[in-house]
Amino acid sequence: MPNTRTANAVRLEFAAGSLVQSNLSGAAFTGDWLWVAGDEACGLDRLRRLEPVGREALRFGEARDFPLADLLDLPGTAEEEADLEGMAVADGYLWVVGSHGLKRKNVKPDRDHADNAKRLAKLALDGNRRLLACLPIEPDAQGEPCLVRQAQDGRKALRLKGDAQSNLLTRALAGDPHFGPYMAIPGKDNGFDIEGLAVDGRRLLLGLRGPVLRGWSALLEISVEARGEQLRLLPLDDSGTLIRKHFLQLDGLGVRDLHFSGDDLYILAGPTMVLNGDIRVFKWPGARTLLAANREPVRFEQALTESVPLPHGRGSNRAEAICDLPPALSGGKASWLVLYDAPGADRKDGEHAVFGDLLRHD
């Protein structure tokens, strides 16, 4: 219950019909307003800061849905989940990215062995999973930030050119010696799976939960620009490089989320497959400056520091989203907001409220 929560808890209240409720996979702030994504929806929710009702540090509620179908011409249908896994606010846009990965049907306890064997062999790709988009943020008449298809200053909601089967990113990776072979493997089988997003101007970093190759995790660096009604990949150098690869030593863990804080890049990392295991935050000092100066198409980075381990449960409480708390909400102390997928009973209050954590950082 709220009055038994610890002082670092953050309460998130959703409505009964909210697009996003419990399986939280992305978070970003616009002032006092919190944007959240879930990996089982095709849209986002915006939460308002409210007065705490118990001992929790912060409380957000009065959720408002923003269906992606209202903002973009989607590659799939409005009902297909986008499996949104990464989110970032930059230069008046909310950026989102889907996992881009295949999924494998799971076995069910009420099915016989033969039926479950067929299920376990079946792969699928929801058309909206291969989505990378920027959505304009614009205040409405009440001054509340909203996502719009086109802002009054001309900014438009745009997505990377592609369709329900592929986009410019997956096509560029199809022949890649490191990741091409994994494009046909489901994410939860150590296949291709984007789960983190960080934005620095035109530079986008995509963090991969999988594959992890001989213990090396990966970030993909791309640059995008608007051309007409779509986003296109922009060469990163004069030789026409479309994707730079950064392999990170995260002790065999895959990337779950990314977040720039000043010049440093923080990496939320956890198991790449369906495992219960360590979830940690790593720090890449000076990453922003290093990335801006780098011209190598492939780099290996071991100069990471482990910042903090995070709690996790067995099949529950998997940290999936991390972002800096605005100074006005943190009392001037550098803090992360951490949100969890599959929250356990200890992170729920009734049917529509869940709890994240505040963590201090340097």
DSSP 28-76: EEETTEEEEEETT-SEEEEEEEE--SSS-SEEEEEEEEEEGGGTS--SS
Provide the 8-state DSSP code for 120: H
Q: Would the pLDDT of 92 be above 90?
A: yes
pLDDT at 361: 78
| Burial classification of residue 92, based on how many CB atoms lie within 10 Å of its CB (0-12 exposed, 13-18 middle, 19 or more buried) | middle
pLDDT at 315: 63
pLDDT band at 84 (very low <50, low <70, confident <90, very high): very high
Q: What is the pLDDT of residue 1?
A: 37
pLDDT for the residue numbered 3: 38
What pLDDT digit, counting tens, does each position of 146-202 carry? Answer: 999 999 999 999 999 999 999 999 999 999 999 999 999 999 899 999 999 999 999
Query: What is the token pair recorded at 167?
Result: 């986009």
CA distance 205 to 259: 10
pLDDT digits (tens, 9 = 90+) for 109-140: 999 999 999 999 999 998 899 999 999 999 99
Convert the pLDDT of each residue in 302-324 to its tens digit: 889 876 777 766 766 788 899 99
> Mean pLDDT in the chain?
91
Q: What local confidence, expressed as pLDDT, does residue 4 receive?
A: 47
Work out the average pLDDT over 277-284.
88
Cis omega (within 30 of 0) for bond into 145: no
- Average pLDDT for 321-339: 87
Q: Which residues are CB-neighbours of 259 under 8 A, at least 6 positions away?
A: 88, 198, 265, 266, 268, 322, 323, 324, 336
Tokens standing for residue 123 = 């792969």
Lowest mean pLDDT among 12-26, 220-234, 272-286: 272-286
Q: Can you give the C-alpha Rg of the chain in angstroms? A: 20
Per-residue pLDDT band at 41 (split at 50, 70, 90): confident
Q: Percent of the chain having pLDDT more than 70? A: 96
pLDDT score, position 289: 95
Q: Which of 58, 350, 282 is nearest to 47 (CA)?
A: 58
**∠ at Cα 276 (123, 207), nearest 5°?**
65
Pairing of strands 33-38, 43-50: antiparallel
What is the per-residue pLDDT for 252? Answer: 92
Whole-structure pTM value: 0.94
Q: Work out the percent of the chain whose per-residue pLDDT is above 90.
A: 71
pLDDT of residue 329: 87
Is a pLDDT exceeding 50 seen at residue 2? no
